[in-house]
């Protein structure tokens, strides 16, 4: 055991300094760069895909809906005559202000007219006696009439609101119509014809083993719609026969063609 310190200088310890040689050598720690955070798959491309599909579907549905022709809807019915005369199931046409139709007076079929808003009907005196009203054209205003003669049905044009009827050459038909530009389509048994507005240059479009009815020319004059009645078929009860009907469209390009539905 050593002797205690005898002076104050002995009480102060000598400082020591650590040097690199005093401790074992260690390699410095390698500094690692910080790891970037792990990226999660982005959902943005998926959202773009879903949005694109939705827009495409919406566009297709819109085209389908708005490209279909509007279906006519009857919003109301108004009686415009109250004269008690029987009406004939022929064409009923209008120029917007007046309505033209056939009716029976004193046992005779006549051509009559009435205001589109209703009122008292009146006769068109210049009409062809016993004729059927077939069609109306507006430029100039006129109606196409089919005379009811025995085994012969000549076609006539009657100017409106007044004028003398004019026979259309040798044209005859059981049904007929006018286009806006005056072209005439008329029907004979199993045959459909087209002629100029004055009755000239008639030409046969089709010959079919069916009953052709109700020809209507499109406003642009490129198509004719009609009703085709084929041979009758026996009904399920066996005691009646039901007509087999189809709708046809004739395209007036060269050469004409027809579709049925």
Long-range Cβ pairs for the range 246-250 (8 Å, 24+): 249/223, 249/224, 249/225, 250/192, 250/205, 250/206, 250/223, 250/224, 250/225, 250/226
Phi, psi of 64 (to 5 degrees): -65, -45
User: How many residues make up the chain in this entry?
Assistant: 261
Per-residue pLDDT of the chain (261 residues), as tens digits, is 455 544 444 444 444 444 444 445 555 555 555 555 555 555 566 556 666 666 666 666 565 555 656 677 888 888 888 888 888 888 888 888 889 998 898 888 888 899 998 888 888 877 787 888 999 888 788 899 998 876 778 999 998 887 889 999 889 998 999 988 888 999 988 889 999 988 899 999 888 888 888 888 888 888 888 888 876 655 555 555 556 777 778 787 777 776 766
The pLDDT assigned to 7 comes to 46
Which secondary-structure segment (H or E) carries 58?
helix 44-67
Strand boundaries in 22-164, DSSP class E: 93-94, 98-105, 108-115, 122-123, 132-138, 141-146, 154-159
Q: How far apart are CA 160 and CA 138, in angstroms?
A: 9
pLDDT at 19: 44
What pLDDT, on the 0 to 100 scale, is given for residue 252? Answer: 79
Contact 90, 132 (CB under 8 A): yes
| Peptide bond connecting 214 to the previous residue in cis, omega within 30 degrees of 0 | no
Question: Across the strands, what pairs with 176?
Answer: 186
**pTM: predicted TM-score of the whole model, two decimal places:** 0.64
């Amino acid at each position: 055991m050593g002797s205690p310190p005898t002076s104050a200088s002995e009480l102060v310890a000598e400082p020591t300094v650590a040097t690199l040689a005093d401790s074992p050598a260690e390699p410095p720690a390698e500094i690692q760069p910080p790891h970037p955070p792990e990226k999660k798959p982005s959902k943005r491309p998926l959202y773009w895909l879903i949005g694109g599909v939705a827009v495409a579907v919406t566009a297709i549905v819109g085209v389908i809906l708005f490209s279909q022709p509007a279906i006519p809807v009857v919003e109301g019915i108004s009686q415009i005559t109250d004269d008690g005369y029987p009406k004939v199931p022929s064409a009923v046409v209008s120029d917007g202000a007046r309505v033209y139709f056939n009716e029976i007076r004193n046992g005779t079929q006549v051509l009559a007219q009435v205001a589109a808003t209703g009122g008292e009907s009146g006769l068109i005196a210049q009409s062809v006696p016993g004729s059927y009203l077939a069609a109306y054209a507006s430029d100039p205003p006129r109606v196409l009439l089919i005379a009811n003669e025995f085994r012969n049905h000549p076609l006539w044009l009657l100017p409106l609101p007044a004028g003398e009827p004019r026979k259309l050459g040798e044209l005859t038909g059981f049904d007929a119509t006018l286009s806006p530009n005056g072209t005439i389509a008329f029907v004979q048994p199993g045959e459909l014809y087209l002629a100029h507005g004055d009755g000239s240059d008639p030409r046969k479009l089709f010959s079919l083993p069916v009953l052709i009815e109700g020809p209507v020319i499109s406003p642009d004059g490129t198509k004719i719609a009609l009703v085709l009645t084929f041979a009758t078929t026996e009904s399920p009860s066996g005691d009646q026969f039901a007509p087999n009907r189809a709708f046809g469209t004739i395209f007036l390009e060269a050469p004409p063609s027809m579709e049925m539905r």
